[in-house]
A and B are shown apart, each in its own frame.
Chain A
Amino acid sequence: MWELATHSLDIARLRGASYADVRVMHLRQRDLTTKNGEVGTLAQSESIGLGIRVLANGAWGFASTDQLTSDGVAACAARAVAIAKASALAKRGEVTLAPEQSFVDSWVSPCRKDPFEIPLETQLALLLAADAEMHRVKGVTLTETDMQFRKIDSWFASSIGSRIHQRKFISGCGMAATSFQGQEIQKRSYPNSFGGQHSLQGYELIESLDLLKNAPMIAEEAAALHSAAQCPEKTGTLILGGSQLGLQIHESVGHPIELDRVLGEEANFAGTSFLTLDQLNQLRYGSDIVNVVADARLEHGPGLGSFAYDDEGVPAQCTDIIKDGQFRGYLSNRETAHLIGLQHSSGTMRTESWNRLPIIRMTNISLLPGSWSVDHLIADTDDGILMDTNRSWSIDDRRYQFQFSTEIGWEIKGGKKTRMLKNPSYSGITTEFWNSCDAICSREHWTLWGTPNCGKGQPMQTMGTGHGAAPARFRNIRIGSAFSNQ
């Protein structure tokens, strides 16, 4: 692989590139699903190819190919340079890159049990058993389970001399029970909705989830939701479960801090951000107890945003995003770091595959834990609603106004979790929401959730991001608006 990578860099330089970096990637994936006790998807795929990004005439070009021959990668490099020269026909300035060291390194993400070595029969048997556990609950009309495994090798080389090999193992698993009765569809998922939990781990993740123990519980809840009370419409106290809070972080912190979005580079598609450059170190983003970091280092945890180097050859870092409630940092790359006074990129360039351009991406954007236990938090809440497991999410294109709904809610009265509520939802304005946070649970309740399906860029890229969160409490939140006036 190194020979092909080096050859493409040489061709790019000969054709006039002032800078080039190249990624050869080999992606392997296995997908297993069940539905109503039968196998659904059962598929395996592999994809290997090379993508090269070049600067020529002060502008960018990128080309990719699956023809991993000397001629194939040479043609690809030449095409990238030709595209860069075309880009220069519509440039307004020269691209400049923050300095970066060259690195020669090799890194493998931690994986105790290679999921591709675990017998398929074992994997399917677990899913089918979990499916059966859900299906035997009366009132459940649809049961689904899924597992997904990925093994990604990437060989990065750049014209400043870096040669970095990384291997990642990614595992994911989840299940859901749906119940249709009368005029209503209700659903419960475990351990999270939309595919479950995903992390940079091997099959040990699956074994840690205890699907069989949790299957009956979510199935019973799905059926019970039909007779639960409707979530009221009011302004009040909200407690969010960890997985829902993880998505709240993703949408209302993670996306607005992407510097490409701030600078208008996503204006036509993913949107911009209310976090204009003048807000840095000035904006009170949240209350004093709100601390958020962007941490790609493995010591933060085996998140979908963990790596050793980003796809621009920059080492993984931890950046303060919100410190004691103050807005402190953006996600940057080598091209944009200088705009926020940094000497170096914060290391957030990531690509979905060999045929996609690296772009600024979330790494692990996590709310640091507080000191409360969940029991203590509930006991301390006189009147509130606990919402758990996302059902829908939406936020405006500058990331101010959001609305989330969850699969299940629980009324909190007099410090006790009382009746179940269906169709819970809440909404608000990002900074008002985070400034209303008055309690965050402790490390023992903190989970690094994986969001495997974050879409951004054109052509669209899907990326996995990590979001550490523990349950937390928010005051004076608008609740129930999704079903108001219906």
Chain B
Amino acid sequence: MSAKNKKGSHAAASIRTAQSLSSERDLRSVIEAVLRLAKKTHAEEAEVHVEEVDDSLTRFANNAIHQNVAERGVTVSVRTILDGRTARATTNRLDEDSLRGAIDASLTLAQSQPEDAHLLPVPGQQRYRAVSRFVKASAAVTPEHRARAVRRACDLAIRNGQVAAGIFATGQSQTAMGNSRGLFAAYRETHAEFSITMQESAATSWAKANSADVRAFDPQKLAARASEKAHRAVDVVELAPARYTVILEPAAVLDLVGFLFYDFAATALADKRSCLNNRMGKPLFGNNISISDDVYHPLQLGANFDGEGMPRGRVLLVDRGVPRNLVYSRRSAKATRKKPTGHGFALPNEYGEAPMNLVFAGGTSSLDEMIASTDRGLLVTRLWYIREVDPYEKIMTGMTRDGLFLVEKGKVTSGVRNFRFNQSLLEMLRNVELLGPAVRATGEEAFEMVVPAMRVRDFHFSEVTKF
């Protein structure tokens, strides 16, 4: 075994025994070791990704913890390039034989296919704008810390004659990548999330928060909010399906508009599966709608580089209702003579790229002001099981869930039996009457974004369910 191979083996061993996240130096050592191994093969170029996670999640239901889990793991992924062909192999075994096996597997895969005339060489060194998203307080949370917070939330439910269910999750993760042209990029973050559903009789409501900093939210306040809303939802009326003015809380906005993200990929337009085909540069939404992709926004999480190691750029996607720009991987940028925006997925893939850090421009109306200024409408806490019915008109279907309320003459007057909606997102974003301040929202159907609450006219509910 050569000295270099010994060094590579040692680097892999150091990462395997770590009890917290490995250092950036360790990750760099692993990447360099794999690149050295790849150099001894007939691969012309190589790219290495290392991912490490240390996550814990405490889950509760019926006012008690019923699941409580933790995971640690490291994966190494290798992409090789040979004769205009590329492929990827991934392993979580970090011994030298396994890493060499992954390199060989990627080469075998690569050689099995026809030459790709559009394949690009790996990019060289890049410069990255720094982001700081690792909070020691989040990394230090213990199972006992989570259990005590859950206990307090459950005690509140019991005091209020309710049943609580939810999660309290904390963790840390990091990713690093490097390639045979000297590119190296690394990113680490912490994450914390608390989500709770309170049930009273047949009524439920819900609250959730997510941040890099566990101190950014108070589980007790979230529990109290869900509890208060569940109580208000006990008395329900059944309304006829129709078009209603709706006040969508940020989580409901997020889970709907999240389905637009891939439409802004240049590859999606080239494939003619984006709703923006033939619509770029033309008024599509209301002039109060502006959308950016901005990984550097203070409420965002996520790495400052993409799957090829390109620095993520800030892109103005929609300017006052007009779709202006798309995001590009290196490949789609070359095909359309644009500059890469740093939104490519790890190669090889057929989807190209996507904006992953959407930020909507907000307004100044608080939720209370939206309610107070609404003569008759529905307040929507959360949406559920959203699916695309029509990809070009962007008609989405789904259900309201965990707190649908009737607003009459500026006040919340009762709960409402849940509706199914069939609603075009394009139409919805033309019908936005009021916008709240943009906040970091978290739901269950889309990844986290920065979005405002919205009041929307003529939102289409098509059917009603039994509760």
Measuring CB to CB, which residues of chain A are less than 8 angstroms from any residue of chain B? 33-36, 38-49, 51, 59-67, 72, 75, 79-80, 82-84, 86-87, 89-93, 119-121, 124, 128, 141-142, 144, 178, 180, 183-185, 263-269, 271, 274, 355-357, 359, 391-398, 400-401, 403, 405, 423, 425, 427, 429, 458-459, 478, 481-486
Q: Which of B63, B68, B91, B420 contacts A401 (CB 8 A)?
A: B420
The reply to whether B64 and A141 form a contact with Cβ atoms under 8 Å apart is: no
B residues 75-96 near A (Cβ < 8 Å) are: 75, 77, 86-93
Q: How far is the CA of A92 from the CA of B109 in the complex (A)?
A: 53
Is the Cβ of A66 less than 8 Å from the Cβ of B73?
yes
B337 at the interface (CB under 8 A from A): no
In angstroms, Cα B116 to Cα A128, docked, is 13
- Would you call B109 and A44 a contact (CB within 8 A)? yes
CB of B177, distance to nearest CB on chain A (Å): 16
Q: For the complex formed, measure the closest distance between the CB of A17 and the CB atoms of chain B, giving whole angstroms.
A: 13
Interface assignment of B220: CB less than 8 Å from any CB of chain A:
no
CB pair B70 A63 closer than 8 Å:
yes
Partner of A86, one of B68, B195, B399: B68
Task: State which of B165, B277, B462 has its C-beta within 8 Å of the C-beta of A481.
Answer: B462
Chain A residue at smallest Cβ distance from B346 = A43
In the complex, A396 Cα to B204 Cα: how many Å?
13
Is the beta-carbon distance between B112 and A87 smaller than 8 angstroms? no
Binary flags per residue of B261-280, CB closer than 8 Å to A gives 1, else 0: 00000000001110001000
5 extra A-B contacts, CB within 8 A, seeds A45-B90, A92-B63: A63-B69, A86-B144, A264-B62, A266-B165, A267-B204
Look across to chain B and name the residue whose beta carbon is closest to the beta carbon of A86: B143
A394: chain B residues at CB < 8 Å are: 385-387, 397-399, 420
- Interface check B166, CB cutoff 8 A: yes
Partner of B165, one of A64, A268, A484: A268
CB of B390 within 8 Å of the partner chain: yes
Residue ranges of B at the interface with A (Cβ–Cβ < 8 Å): 16-17, 19, 55-75, 77, 86-93, 105-106, 108-110, 112-114, 116, 142-144, 146-148, 150-151, 154, 163, 165-167, 169, 195-197, 199, 204, 206, 243, 271-273, 277, 348-350, 384-393, 395, 397-399, 401-402, 418, 420, 422, 424, 444, 460, 462-467
* Shortest Cβ-Cβ A-B pairs, 8 listed: A40-B350, A120-B112, A86-B143, A401-B465, A45-B90, A267-B165, A180-B272, A92-B64
A66–B68 contact, CB under 8 A?
Answer: no
Q: Is the CB of B387 within 8 A of A393?
A: yes
Q: Which of B65, B90, B142, B348 is within 8 Å of A91, CB to CB?
A: B65
Q: Which residues of B contact A266 (CB under 8 A)?
A: 61, 165
* Residue from the list A264, A478, A483 in contact with B422, Cβ < 8 A: A483
**Cβ distance A158 to chain B, nearest Cβ, rounded Å:** 18
Name the CB-closest residue of A to B111. Answer: A120
A-B contact pairs, 16 of them (CB 8 A): A47-B92, A48-B93, A59-B68, A60-B65, A64-B72, A89-B65, A128-B114, A142-B273, A180-B272, A185-B390, A396-B418, A400-B467, A459-B57, A482-B389, A484-B422, A486-B460
Q: Are A401 and B64 also in contact (CB < 8 A) when A45-B89, A396-B418 are? A: no
- In the bound complex, how far is the Cα of B348 from the Cα of A51, in angstroms? 31
Question: When the two chains form their complex, are residues A265 and B271 in contact, meaning their CB atoms are under 8 A apart?
Answer: no
What are the residues of chain A within 8 A of B56 when measuring CB–CB?
A: 83
Q: Would you give the shortest CB distance from A41 to chain B, in whole angstroms?
A: 5
| Min CB gap A451→B, angstroms | 15
With beta carbons under 8 angstroms apart, the residue of B196, B206, B349, B388 that contacts A40 is: B349
Tell whether, in the assembled complex, residue B384 and residue A397 are in contact, meaning their CB atoms are under 8 Å apart.
yes
Q: Is the CB of B272 within 8 A of A178?
A: yes
CA distance A38 to B65 in the complex (A): 49
Q: B384: shortest Cβ distance to chain A, in Å?
A: 5
In angstroms, how far is the closest chain B Cβ from the Cβ of A143?
10
Knowing A484-B462, A486-B460 touch, does A42 contact B110 (C-beta < 8 A)?
yes
Q: Which residues of chain A are near B147, meaning CB under 8 Å?
A: 86-87, 89-90
Q: Is the CB of A64 within 8 A of B384?
A: no
- A398 and B387 contacting across the interface, CB-CB below 8 Å: no
Which residues of A are found within 8 Å of B70, using beta-carbon distances?
62-64, 79-80, 83
Is B68 touching A400 in the complex (CB atoms < 8 A)?
no
Q: A66-B72, A67-B16, A398-B467 are in contact. Are A263 and B62 (CB under 8 A)?
A: yes
A180-B392, A401-B420 known; A41 and B113 CB under 8 Å?
Answer: no
Q: Which residues of A contact B69 (CB under 8 A)?
A: 61-64, 83, 356-357, 459
Total A-B pairs in contact (CB under 8 Å)? 288
In the complex, the chain A residue whose C-beta lies closest to that of B113 is A39
- Nearest-Cβ distance from residue A383 to partner chain B, whole angstroms: 23
Cα distance A391–B385 when bound, in Å? Answer: 14
B92 — which chain A residues lie within 8 A by C-beta? 46-49, 66
How far does the alpha carbon of A67 sit from the alpha carbon of B68 in the complex, in Å?
20
Question: A60–B143 contact, CB under 8 A?
Answer: no
B113 engages A42 (CB within 8 Å): yes
| B residues in contact with A403, CB < 8 Å | 397, 420, 422, 462-463
Q: What's the minimum C-beta distance from B231 to chain A, rounded to whole angstroms?
A: 16
Q: Are A400 and B113 in contact (CB under 8 A)?
A: no
Contact among B143, B348, B388 with A42 in the assembled complex (CB-CB below 8 Å): B348
Contact yes or no, A400 B465, CB < 8 A: yes
Contact, CB under 8 Å: A483 / B390: yes
> CA–CA, A420 to B270, complex, Å?
29
Instruction: Check B88–A42 contact: CB distance below 8 A.
Output: yes
* A270 CA to B96 CA, complexed, in Å: 41
Residues of A within 8 A of B243 (CB): 485
Contact A400 B61 (CB under 8 A): no
Q: Is the CB of A267 within 8 A of B199?
A: yes
Residues of chain B contacted by A185 (CB below 8 angstroms): 272-273, 390-392
State A108–B422 Cα separation when bound (angstroms). Answer: 46
State in angstroms the CA–CA spacing of A425 and B420 once bound together. Answer: 14
Min C-beta distance of B22 to chain A, whole Å: 13
**Contact: B63 with A392, CB < 8 Å?**
no
Bound CA–CA A458/B194 (angstroms): 12
Nearest-CB residue, chain A, relative to B427: A486
Shortest beta-carbon distance from A111 to chain B in Å = 20
* B residues less than 8 Å from A84 (CB atoms): 68
Q: Whole-angstrom distance between the alpha carbons of A33 and B87 in the complex?
A: 12
Q: Which of B58, B148, B199, B389 is the one whose CB lies under 8 Å from A392?
A: B389
A269 and B397 contacting across the interface, CB-CB below 8 Å:
no
Q: Once the chains are docked, how many angstroms separate the CA of A405 from the CA of B128?
A: 45
Instruction: Decide: B393 and A458 in contact? CB cutoff 8 A.
Output: no
Which A residue's beta carbon lies closest to that of B386? Answer: A394
Residues of B within 8 A of A401 (CB): 399, 420, 463-466
Pick the contact of B348: A39, A86, A178, A400 (CB < 8 A).
Answer: A39
CB distance from A61 to the nearest CB of B (A): 5
Chain A residues with Cβ under 8 A from B386's Cβ? 394
**A261 vs B303: C-alpha distance when bound (angstroms):** 35
B350 near A89 (CB under 8 angstroms)?
no
Taking a contact as CB atoms under 8 Å apart, the answer to whether B113 and A427 are in contact is: no
Tell me whether A43 and B109 are in contact (CB under 8 A).
yes
Bound-state Cα–Cα, A379 to B272, Å: 39
Query: B169 to chain A: which residues have CB within 8 Å?
Result: 458-459
* Contact B93–A38 (Cβ < 8 Å): no
Query: For residue A66, which residues in chain B have a CB less than 8 angstroms away from its CB?
Result: 16, 72-74, 92
Give the residue among A47, A183, A486 with the most B Cβ atoms within 10 A: A486
Cβ–Cβ contact A425 & B196, under 8 A = no
B401 with A397: CB separation less than 8 A: yes
Q: Quick check: A43 and B89 within 8 Å, CB to CB?
A: yes
B272 and A142 contacting across the interface, CB-CB below 8 Å: yes
Q: How far is the CB of B166 from chain A (nearest CB, A)?
A: 4
Residues of A within 8 A of B148 (CB): 89-90
The 8 Å CB contact of A486, one of B58, B112, B393, B467, is: B393
A263 CB contacts on chain B under 8 angstroms? 61-62
Contact B422 A482 (CB under 8 A): yes
Q: Are A178 and B273 in contact (CB-based, < 8 A)?
A: yes
- A91 CB, nearest partner CB in chain B, Å: 5
Distance of A92 Cα from B64 Cα, bound (Å): 6
Q: Is the CB of B90 within 8 A of A44?
A: yes
Known: A45-B90, A90-B147, A268-B195. A482 touches B397 (CB 8 A): yes
The answer for the CA separation of A84 and B65 in the assembled complex, in Å, is 10
